[in-house]
Structure 1
Amino acid sequence: MMQKLDQLKALFAEMKNALIAYSGGIDSALVAKIAYDVLGDGAIALTAESPSLLPEDLEDAIAQAAAIGIAHQIVQTHELDNPNYAANPVNRCYFCKSELHDTLKPLALQWGYPYVVDGVNADDLHDYRPGIQAAKERGARSPLAEVGVTKAEVREIAKYLGLPYWDKPAQPCLSSRFPYGEEITIAKLQRVGRAEVYLRRLGWKNIRVRSQGDTARIEVLPDQVKEFVLQTDLPTLIEAFKSYGFLYTTLDLEGYQSGKLNQVLQFNVSSTNGR
């Protein structure tokens, strides 16, 4: 771990100035922390605000940046204006990251930051992440991936550096809650967001509310499925979800898995190969 941390520090020392694409998640927060520790005022964090980001997550990002000490600004992105994104194709994230980096890169150059860096880690390279390609095409760098830092090591280093949110659950954009091919709208994003906030306030942290049509499918950790059923006031929850616009509320008995909606891609490939 210490060797990789030293490599990250050396990498930022070579950059001298860097703008961090900072979502507030633990990956980009660690990048922001190391960049600030090495570069001081030579580092700045920018967070993209859009309908796919929960207001609560934006508040967390602001608080975390303040705790780190890094300069932090918020910019608006408009990925939903792009019909290629709103149609929610399998490469939706490509258009999301294109919008993000097409917004950040000109600002970085204007403000004198030759590098835009993100929080992509080594494990991300082994998942289906079309957004990584969009970032690379626009010259972004991924220090964690370059050094080979895995997700587990991200948390280990963050804990070592004293970041209080080292174990913060992953919280990708709300658009990831919809099956590929289902159109994404602001109303749908807000509906999912309100449902997840409701569950968070009940004390459930690692959760997702997947949305398909008028159905909400709740995912909690596999070992918490039984506990969720026994401890949750289900009639009250159902009524709350109906007030958000869901006609049906279900629980995924398999439990939460990161990137679960990508399983359909693997299934389609396997089915095609099996013909």
Structure 2
Amino acid sequence: MSAYKRLLAYIEKLESVAVAFSGGVDSTFLAYAVREALGDKAVAITVDSPYIPRWEIDEAKVLAKEIGIRHVILPATIHESIAHNPSNRCYLCKKVIFSSILEEAKRQGVKVVVDGSNVDDTKDYRPGLAALHELNVRSPLMACEWTKEMIRESSKEVGLTTHDKPAYACLLTRLPYDTTITQEELERIEKSEVYLMTLGFRAVRVRSHGQLARIEVARNMRKKLFDEALLDKISHTLKTYGYDYVTIEASGYTMGSFNQQIGK
């Protein structure tokens, strides 16, 4: 039995499923598989919070329609437990967000909530995984031992446009831990990243340190970035968004770069 057939068999046993759907590589592939395995007994639930970029919400809507899965958008606010971006923010956030998804799934008459975590997610600091376990949220891709590479390859095979989509994370990951979160700051970060995307930088982060913006691009895109005219243009634009200083992370994009400070 192929890995994909094993995944479908796992999902079929769940009978009815709600997918926590961000529109990223993993959740899109999982939503596709859930729709194939369960048909109308599947639903995708997307949480629309202030720390999720608008373009991701819009893209999730389009992807759900392409997959043909029923789609629900859940509005959310910045919960008081994460208002100051604590180091266990991901755990606290997942607890709140997935509790709301579980409630919505119940309203939809769905038995099980699943997320797109895969085996590679154990390689970084991911306290949110503990919250999923506590809430009995299933992770079919992890249970069936799928890696990110397998997900991308299979996504391409079935024609999903997300097969080569760069990894993204919520905007809170752009802020140092123990920093007060404001709507204005999140909007400034999102605006800065969208601008850099328009310049051709797909995998990009703008880490925000008060009035200083620290730009990270994919390592293989640094040569494109290190152009004097382009750097001047980027610096000028981000300063119009409210930053006083604009810097470049010389080593390029690093997943969860703020996690390196935990325990120091």
Q: Which TM class, normalised by the smaller chain length?
A: over 0.9
Following the alignment from structure 1 to structure 2, what is the Cα–Cα distance between the partners of residues 12 and 102? 21
Match of 2:254 in 1: 257
Instruction: Answer yes or no: is the 8 Å Cα contact 1:94–1:130 preserved in 2.
Output: yes
Match of 2:29 in 1: 30
DSSP-derived class of the 1:165 partner: helix
Shift of 1:160: 1.6
Following the alignment from structure 1 to structure 2, what is the Cα–Cα distance between the partners of residues 107 and 182? 31
DSSP-derived class of the 2:162 partner: coil
Following the alignment from structure 1 to structure 2, what is the Cα–Cα distance between the partners of residues 52 and 226? 30
Shift of 1:108: 1.2
Match of 2:38 in 1: 39
Instruction: Answer yes or no: is the 8 Å Cα contact 2:92–2:131 preserved in 1.
Output: yes
Shift of 1:231: 7.0
Shift of 1:158: 0.9
Following the alignment from structure 1 to structure 2, what is the Cα–Cα distance between the partners of residues 192 and 69? 32
Q: How does 1:116-265 map to 2 (within 5 A)?
A: 116-230=113-227, 233-265=230-262
Match of 1:16 in 2: 15
More helix by share: 1
Instruction: Answer yes or no: is the 8 Å Cα contact 1:77–1:99 preserved in 2.
Output: no
- Render the CA deviation track for 1:177-199: whole Å, top value 9, x for unaligned: 11112222111111100000000
Following the alignment from structure 2 to structure 1, what is the Cα–Cα distance between the partners of residues 13 and 29? 18
Instruction: Answer yes or no: is the 8 Å Cα contact 2:7–2:140 preserved in 1.
Output: yes
Match of 2:102 in 1: 105
Matched, 1:48 2:47: yes
Following the alignment from structure 1 to structure 2, what is the Cα–Cα distance between the partners of residues 16 and 232? 57
Selected match of 1:81 from 72, 79, 82: 79
- Render the CA deviation track for 1:192-229: whole Å, top value 9, x for unaligned: 00000000111110111111111100111123222212
Seq. identity, % = 39
Q: One-letter code of the match for 1:81?
A: H
Q: Does the C-alpha gap of structure 1 residues 184 and 230 become closer, same or farther in structure 2, counting only changes over 3 Å?
A: same
Match of 1:64 in 2: 63
Shift of 1:3: 2.3
Q: Does the C-alpha gap of structure 1 residues 231 and 207 become closer, same or farther in structure 2, counting only changes over 3 Å?
A: farther
Shift of 1:141: 0.4
Q: One-letter code of the match for 1:171?
A: Y
Following the alignment from structure 2 to structure 1, what is the Cα–Cα distance between the partners of residues 186 and 72? 23
Shift of 1:232: 5.2
Matched, 1:6 2:5: yes
The runs of 4+ residues in structure 1 deviating greater than 2 Å are 231-236
Of 121-130 and 36-45, deviating more is: 121-130
Q: One-letter code of the match for 1:15?
A: L
Instruction: Answer yes or no: is the 8 Å Cα contact 2:50–2:76 preserved in 1.
Output: no
Following the alignment from structure 1 to structure 2, what is the Cα–Cα distance between the partners of residues 233 and 155? 32
Please report the RMSD computed on the Cα atoms of aligned residues, expressed in angstroms. 1.4
Following the alignment from structure 1 to structure 2, what is the Cα–Cα distance between the partners of residues 163 and 153? 13
